[in-house]
Amino acid sequence: MPTDTLYGLVGSALNKKTVGRIYKLRKRDSRKPFIILISSIKDLGLFGVKPDEPTKKILKALWPGKVSVVLPCMASTFKYLHRGTKTLAFRLPALKSLSDLLKKTGPLVAPSANREGKPASITIEEAQGYFGNNADFYVNSGKKQSAPSTIVAVSGNNLEVLRQGSVKIPLKLRLQK
Protein backbone atom coordinates (compact mmCIF):
# COMPACT_ATOMS: atom_id res chain seq x y z
CA MET A 1 0.00 0.00 0.00
CA PRO A 2 1.15 3.59 -0.41
CA THR A 3 2.78 5.31 2.54
CA ASP A 4 3.78 8.96 2.79
CA THR A 5 6.98 8.18 0.84
CA LEU A 6 6.92 4.93 -1.16
CA TYR A 7 4.83 1.80 -1.49
CA GLY A 8 5.24 -0.28 1.65
CA LEU A 9 4.67 -3.85 2.71
CA VAL A 10 2.81 -3.02 5.92
CA GLY A 11 1.44 -4.90 8.92
CA SER A 12 0.74 -4.48 12.60
CA ALA A 13 3.87 -3.59 14.56
CA LEU A 14 2.24 -5.07 17.66
CA ASN A 15 1.81 -8.53 16.10
CA LYS A 16 5.01 -10.61 16.28
CA LYS A 17 3.71 -13.15 13.74
CA THR A 18 2.87 -10.43 11.20
CA VAL A 19 6.30 -8.82 11.58
CA GLY A 20 7.95 -12.23 11.07
CA ARG A 21 5.89 -12.83 7.94
CA ILE A 22 6.97 -9.48 6.48
CA TYR A 23 10.65 -10.31 7.13
CA LYS A 24 10.14 -13.58 5.28
CA LEU A 25 8.27 -11.99 2.34
CA ARG A 26 10.88 -9.26 1.89
CA LYS A 27 13.78 -11.67 2.44
CA ARG A 28 15.08 -8.98 4.78
CA ASP A 29 18.24 -9.27 6.85
CA SER A 30 16.88 -10.37 10.23
CA ARG A 31 19.25 -7.99 12.04
CA LYS A 32 17.72 -4.85 10.47
CA PRO A 33 14.71 -3.34 12.27
CA PHE A 34 11.75 -1.92 10.33
CA ILE A 35 10.50 1.66 10.50
CA ILE A 36 7.23 1.92 12.46
CA LEU A 37 4.51 4.35 11.40
CA ILE A 38 2.56 5.91 14.28
CA SER A 39 -0.47 8.20 14.50
CA SER A 40 0.73 10.33 17.44
CA ILE A 41 3.68 10.83 19.77
CA LYS A 42 1.59 9.04 22.43
CA ASP A 43 1.95 5.81 20.39
CA LEU A 44 5.61 5.65 21.46
CA GLY A 45 4.37 4.57 24.90
CA LEU A 46 2.98 1.36 23.35
CA PHE A 47 6.62 0.34 22.85
CA GLY A 48 7.85 1.47 26.26
CA VAL A 49 9.54 4.47 24.63
CA LYS A 50 9.42 7.56 26.86
CA PRO A 51 11.30 10.46 25.27
CA ASP A 52 12.68 13.13 27.60
CA GLU A 53 11.62 16.78 27.18
CA PRO A 54 14.49 17.79 24.83
CA THR A 55 13.73 14.78 22.60
CA LYS A 56 10.00 15.63 22.62
CA LYS A 57 10.88 19.12 21.34
CA ILE A 58 12.91 17.59 18.52
CA LEU A 59 10.07 15.21 17.62
CA LYS A 60 7.58 18.08 17.55
CA ALA A 61 9.93 20.01 15.22
CA LEU A 62 10.35 17.05 12.83
CA TRP A 63 6.85 15.57 12.91
CA PRO A 64 4.55 15.09 11.23
CA GLY A 65 6.70 14.54 8.18
CA LYS A 66 8.98 12.28 6.19
CA VAL A 67 11.60 11.89 8.93
CA SER A 68 12.04 8.62 10.80
CA VAL A 69 13.59 9.03 14.25
CA VAL A 70 15.60 6.29 15.95
CA LEU A 71 14.81 6.11 19.67
CA PRO A 72 15.91 3.73 22.46
CA CYS A 73 13.63 0.76 23.14
CA MET A 74 15.00 -1.36 25.95
CA ALA A 75 11.92 -3.59 26.37
CA SER A 76 12.77 -7.22 25.63
CA THR A 77 9.10 -7.65 24.70
CA PHE A 78 9.90 -5.84 21.46
CA LYS A 79 13.06 -7.76 20.53
CA TYR A 80 11.11 -9.07 17.51
CA LEU A 81 11.06 -5.42 16.33
CA HIS A 82 14.40 -4.01 17.51
CA ARG A 83 16.29 -7.20 16.57
CA GLY A 84 18.69 -6.79 19.49
CA THR A 85 19.63 -3.19 18.61
CA LYS A 86 17.48 -1.89 21.51
CA THR A 87 16.38 0.98 19.24
CA LEU A 88 13.37 1.51 17.00
CA ALA A 89 12.76 3.99 14.19
CA PHE A 90 9.40 5.76 14.24
CA ARG A 91 7.73 8.09 11.74
CA LEU A 92 4.63 10.21 12.22
CA PRO A 93 3.33 10.80 8.66
CA ALA A 94 1.75 14.09 7.62
CA LEU A 95 -0.39 12.40 4.93
CA LYS A 96 -3.94 12.68 6.33
CA SER A 97 -5.31 9.49 4.78
CA LEU A 98 -2.40 7.49 6.24
CA SER A 99 -2.71 9.20 9.62
CA ASP A 100 -6.44 8.37 9.68
CA LEU A 101 -5.67 4.74 8.86
CA LEU A 102 -3.04 4.54 11.64
CA LYS A 103 -5.59 5.83 14.15
CA LYS A 104 -7.76 2.82 13.26
CA THR A 105 -5.10 0.12 12.87
CA GLY A 106 -2.50 1.16 15.41
CA PRO A 107 1.23 1.33 14.60
CA LEU A 108 2.34 -0.38 11.39
CA VAL A 109 5.76 -1.63 10.31
CA ALA A 110 6.26 -0.22 6.84
CA PRO A 111 9.35 -1.37 4.94
CA SER A 112 9.39 -0.49 1.25
CA ALA A 113 7.60 -2.95 -1.03
CA ASN A 114 10.58 -4.76 -2.51
CA ARG A 115 12.94 -7.61 -1.80
CA GLU A 116 16.08 -6.80 0.19
CA GLY A 117 18.59 -5.05 -2.09
CA LYS A 118 16.15 -4.55 -5.00
CA PRO A 119 14.64 -1.24 -6.18
CA ALA A 120 11.62 0.02 -4.25
CA SER A 121 8.27 -0.42 -6.00
CA ILE A 122 6.91 2.78 -7.50
CA THR A 123 3.77 1.08 -8.84
CA ILE A 124 1.44 -1.62 -7.56
CA GLU A 125 2.41 -3.77 -10.54
CA GLU A 126 6.05 -3.72 -9.38
CA ALA A 127 4.99 -4.69 -5.83
CA GLN A 128 2.88 -7.53 -7.24
CA GLY A 129 5.93 -8.64 -9.22
CA TYR A 130 7.84 -9.01 -5.96
CA PHE A 131 5.14 -10.60 -3.81
CA GLY A 132 2.44 -12.02 -6.13
CA ASN A 133 -0.33 -13.72 -4.16
CA ASN A 134 1.74 -13.76 -0.95
CA ALA A 135 0.49 -10.32 0.12
CA ASP A 136 -3.02 -10.30 1.58
CA PHE A 137 -4.11 -7.29 -0.49
CA TYR A 138 -2.79 -4.39 -2.55
CA VAL A 139 -3.85 -0.73 -2.50
CA ASN A 140 -3.18 1.11 -5.75
CA SER A 141 -2.34 4.81 -5.60
CA GLY A 142 -0.72 5.22 -9.00
CA LYS A 143 2.99 6.02 -9.29
CA LYS A 144 4.74 6.86 -6.01
CA GLN A 145 8.03 8.49 -6.91
CA SER A 146 9.49 9.84 -3.71
CA ALA A 147 12.74 9.48 -1.89
CA PRO A 148 12.51 7.28 1.20
CA SER A 149 12.22 8.93 4.60
CA THR A 150 15.23 10.62 6.13
CA ILE A 151 16.42 8.62 9.15
CA VAL A 152 17.93 10.45 12.12
CA ALA A 153 19.20 9.48 15.56
CA VAL A 154 19.04 11.80 18.55
CA SER A 155 21.76 11.71 21.18
CA GLY A 156 21.79 14.47 23.77
CA ASN A 157 21.84 17.74 21.83
CA ASN A 158 23.07 16.10 18.62
CA LEU A 159 20.98 15.00 15.68
CA GLU A 160 22.79 12.60 13.34
CA VAL A 161 21.49 11.75 9.88
CA LEU A 162 21.73 8.01 9.28
CA ARG A 163 20.06 8.13 5.85
CA GLN A 164 19.48 11.26 3.80
CA GLY A 165 16.04 10.98 2.17
CA SER A 166 12.97 13.12 1.46
CA VAL A 167 13.91 15.80 4.00
CA LYS A 168 17.40 17.28 3.70
CA ILE A 169 19.13 17.75 7.06
CA PRO A 170 22.84 18.51 7.65
CA LEU A 171 24.68 15.26 8.47
CA LYS A 172 25.39 16.34 12.03
CA LEU A 173 23.48 19.08 13.74
CA ARG A 174 24.03 20.52 17.20
CA LEU A 175 20.66 21.47 18.62
CA GLN A 176 19.83 24.46 20.76
CA LYS A 177 19.21 23.73 24.43
Q: What is the model's pLDDT at position 177? A: 54
pLDDT digits (tens, 9 = 90+) for 60-110: 989 999 999 999 999 999 999 999 999 999 999 999 999 999 999 999 999
pTM: 0.93
What is the rounded distance in angstroms from the CA atom of residue 128 to the CA atom of residue 46? Answer: 32
Q: What is the CATH number of the domain that holds 64?
A: 3.90.870.10
What are the 10-residue block averages of pLDDT along the chain, 177 residues in total?
A: 94 97 94 95 96 89 95 93 95 96 97 93 95 96 91 84 88 60
Is residue 22 domain-resident?
Answer: yes
What is the rounded distance in angstroms from the CA atom of residue 38 to the CA atom of residue 48? Answer: 14
Domain enclosing residue 56, as ranges? 11-150
φ, ψ (nearest 5 deg) of residue 126: -65, -40
Is residue 158 domain-resident?
Answer: no
Is residue 166 domain-resident?
Answer: no
Is residue 157 domain-resident?
Answer: no
Q: Are 109 and 84 within 8 A, CB to CB?
A: no
What is the rounded distance in angstroms from the CA atom of residue 17 to the CA atom of residue 11? Answer: 10
Is residue 164 domain-resident?
Answer: no
- End-to-end C-alpha distance for the chain, whole angstroms: 39
Is residue 126 domain-resident?
Answer: yes
**Number of domains forming the structure of the chain:** 1
Is residue 159 domain-resident?
Answer: no
Is residue 77 domain-resident?
Answer: yes
Residues in the chain: 177
